[in-house]
């Protein structure tokens, strides 16, 4: 393995840029660095010599940091990223589970938002650098923010147990408010920059770097500048860099490095085979102009991308919407609701705020992580609501979960674009026509691909510890489903329905499933049906 000193690396950089003549170096020695540091540094320099010189003056390549990631191996991150990572606002992500309540179902699902964020940053940089030579767009250059925005962006605003906080707890704690973790990520990022004195650092990245990062966090323009939906609305980058908005969080078709990392990371920790190779995908991508510049893939990769969306659907069925995981998260949500006004966190001006109010106070939100459950469990409060919250958490600890009557919270399995086929917005190119972008119709890929791209189910959980009314509840739920013309499907052993359904019904079920007991599963025949938290208390 080659090692290079400070002087050698600087000389190599200038030599490769063709400007090594008459250059005076600082001859002070520095620690040895890996050759990949040089490659990483070159990849973020712009094609203009004057801009490259500015980068040398403002960015210290010798303070990059290498992380040993469990999925991607050794990952080297830019020095500005290291500054972001080494802040309390970012370090809090170490204490927020990536899969929420999934850790209580899958023992290996102990990974957190922190490592996912680093993985996304790495893949964003890899995708930007790996295929730069294949873009073949005249005058194309990457700013240093391209690999940076990935991990900073969507995750710093997550609350305890990730989506449990913004999708389950906040809608019930603050029913009149519309709140998204993406909006909070913008606020947290601004607070992080200001609190840690990084304003000057981010200004060095460019005039519109902060705007660009905020747009990537939100996945949309900060403000609409035109009523014409076809007009370019983003302000952080001009229209000729439109493809940069497709790297981290692709709103066009959902093919982005955020999914690539959580597919690989979740499968790794869950012990599930990941059948999508994102590195192969990178090797067959290039930027091609079709009205705007898009990231396009080889036509032969179309089926592989359908497999990627199938993997997403599989993970939702098997993991993200697992019936026990959902059960656990409903219980955690209930405990948080009961303790909401009793757990106080110090915010700005030493003001004490509640759990739900912490979302509006960045200082208090910095302290809000999964560890809030420990605060409830060790609380000595004799308040009835706090005692009820502790009781719910004790039930989780002893695996005394709510009873699943049927399928309470609407569960949606999709390809990520609702009932639309996301591949209708994916661009491809042919080997012999590498500069022509086109969309491949589904039937040209295979006739065995799905016709429907959205499936929903409804689950019903019984919260009460008193199980004497389960029969009546089940009958009522069955009647409700029949009135709404929902199809009833029996699957695995959960409740004994022998006293509820006729012998003929049970024999038919036994022939189909080979079991005498069954779990009630209700589907809406892939139709859109929204019923929020249909839960019996």
pLDDT (tens digit per residue) in 516-527: 223 333 332 222
Write down the catalytic residue from 181, 278, 294, 322: 181
pLDDT at residue 482, rounded to an integer:
75
Domain count, the chain: 2
Which of 40, 63, 86 is where one domain is finished?
A: 63
pLDDT at residue 485, rounded to an integer:
66
Annotation says 278 is catalytic: no
Q: Does 215 reside within a domain?
A: no
Output 233-239 pairs: Cβ under 8 A, ≥24 positions apart. Answer: 235/208, 235/211, 236/208, 236/209, 236/211, 236/212, 237/208, 237/212, 239/292
Q: Does 331 reside within a domain?
A: no
Which of 63, 83, 117 is where one domain is finished?
A: 63
Report helix, strand or coil for 476.
Answer: helix
pLDDT at residue 409, rounded to an integer:
39
Q: Does 333 reside within a domain?
A: no
Contacts of 185 (CB under 8 A, 6+ apart): 153, 154, 155, 156, 157, 158, 217
Q: Does 129 reside within a domain?
A: no
The segments of the chain whose pLDDT lies below 70 read 1-63, 128-155, 407-421, 442-456, 485-537
Dump pLDDT digits (tens) for 41-100: 333 332 333 343 344 334 444 467 899 999 999 998 888 888 999 999 999 999 999 999
Q: Does 15 reside within a domain?
A: yes
Dump pLDDT digits (tens) for 129-139: 655 545 544 33
Q: Does 529 reside within a domain?
A: yes
Which of 17, 45, 63 is where one domain is finished?
A: 63
Q: Does 173 reside within a domain?
A: no
- Look up the domain containing 29 and give its range: 1-63
Q: What is the DSSP string of 368-390?
A: -STTHHHHHHH-----HHHHHHH
pLDDT at residue 394, rounded to an integer:
96
pLDDT at residue 463, rounded to an integer:
85
What pTM was estimated for this model as a whole? Answer: 0.76
Cα–Cα nearest to 364, from 179, 112, 191: 191
pLDDT at residue 64, rounded to an integer:
78
Q: What is the dihedral of CA 68, 70, 73, 78, to 10 degrees?
A: -50
Q: Does 480 reside within a domain?
A: yes
Instruction: Identify whether the C-beta of residue 279 lies closer than 8 Å to the C-beta of residue 226.
Output: no
């Amino acid at each position: 393995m080659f090692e290079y000193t400070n002087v050698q690396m600087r000389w190599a950089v200038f030599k490769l840029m063709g400007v090594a003549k008459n250059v005076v170096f600082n001859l002070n020695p520095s620690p040895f660095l890996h050759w990949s540091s040089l490659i990483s540094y070159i990849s973020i320099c712009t094609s203009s010599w004057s801009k490259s010189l500015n980068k040398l003056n403002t960015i210290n390549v010798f303070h990059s940091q290498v992380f040993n990631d469990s999925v991607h191996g050794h990952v080297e991150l830019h020095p500005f990223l290291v500054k972001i990572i080494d802040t309390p606002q970012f370090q809090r992500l170490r204490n927020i589970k990536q899969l929420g309540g999934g850790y209580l179902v899958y023992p290996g699902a102990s990974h957190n938002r922190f490592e996912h964020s680093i993985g996304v940053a790495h893949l964003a940089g890899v995708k930007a650098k790996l295929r730069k030579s294949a873009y073949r767009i005249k005058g194309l250059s990457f700013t240093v923010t391209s690999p940076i925005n990935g991990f900073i962006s969507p995750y710093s605003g997550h609350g305890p147990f990730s989506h449990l906080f913004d999708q389950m707890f906040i809608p019930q704690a603050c029913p009149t408010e519309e709140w998204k973790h993406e909006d909070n990520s913008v606020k947290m990022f601004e607070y992080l920059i200001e609190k840690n004195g990084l304003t000057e650092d981010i200004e060095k990245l460019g005039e519109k770097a902060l705007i660009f990062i905020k747009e990537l966090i939100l996945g949309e323009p900060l403000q609409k500048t035109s009523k014409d939906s076809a007009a370019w609305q983003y302000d952080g980058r001009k229209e000729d860099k439109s493809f940069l908005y497709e790297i981290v969080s692709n709103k066009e078709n959902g093919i982005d490095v955020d999914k690539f990392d959580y597919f690989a990371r979740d499968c790794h920790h869950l012990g599930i085979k990941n059948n999508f190779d994102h590195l192969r995908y990178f090797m067959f991508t290039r930027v091609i102009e079709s009205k705007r510049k898009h990231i396009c893939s080889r036509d032969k990769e179309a089926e592989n991308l359908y497999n990627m969306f199938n993997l997403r659907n599989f993970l939702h069925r098997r993991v993200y919407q697992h019936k026990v995981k959902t059960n656990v998260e409903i219980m955690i949500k209930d405990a948080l609701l009961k303790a909401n006004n009793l757990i106080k966190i110090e915010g700005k001006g030493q003001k004490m705020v509640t759990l739900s109010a912490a979302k509006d106070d960045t200082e208090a939100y910095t302290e809000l992580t999964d560890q809030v459950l420990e605060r409830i469990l060790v609380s000595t409060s004799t308040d009835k609501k706090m005692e009820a919250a502790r009781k719910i958490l004790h039930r989780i600890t002893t695996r005394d979960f709510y009873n699943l009557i049927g399928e309470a919270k609407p569960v949606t399995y999709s390809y990520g674009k609702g009932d639309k086929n996301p591949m209708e917005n994916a661009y491809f190119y042919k080997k012999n026509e590498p500069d022509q972008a086109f969309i491949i119709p589904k039937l040209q890929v295979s006739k065995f691909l799905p016709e429907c791209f959205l499936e929903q189910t409804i689950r019903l959980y019984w919260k009460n510890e008193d199980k004497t009314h389960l029969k009546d509840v089940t009958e009522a739920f069955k009647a409700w489903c029949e009135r709404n013309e929902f199809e009833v499907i029996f699957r695995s052993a959960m409740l004994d329905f022998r006293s509820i359904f006729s012998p003929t019904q049970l024999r038919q079920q036994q022939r189909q499933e080979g079991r005498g007991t069954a779990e009630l599963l209700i589907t809406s025949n892939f139709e859109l049906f929204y019923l929020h938290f249909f839960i019996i208390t």
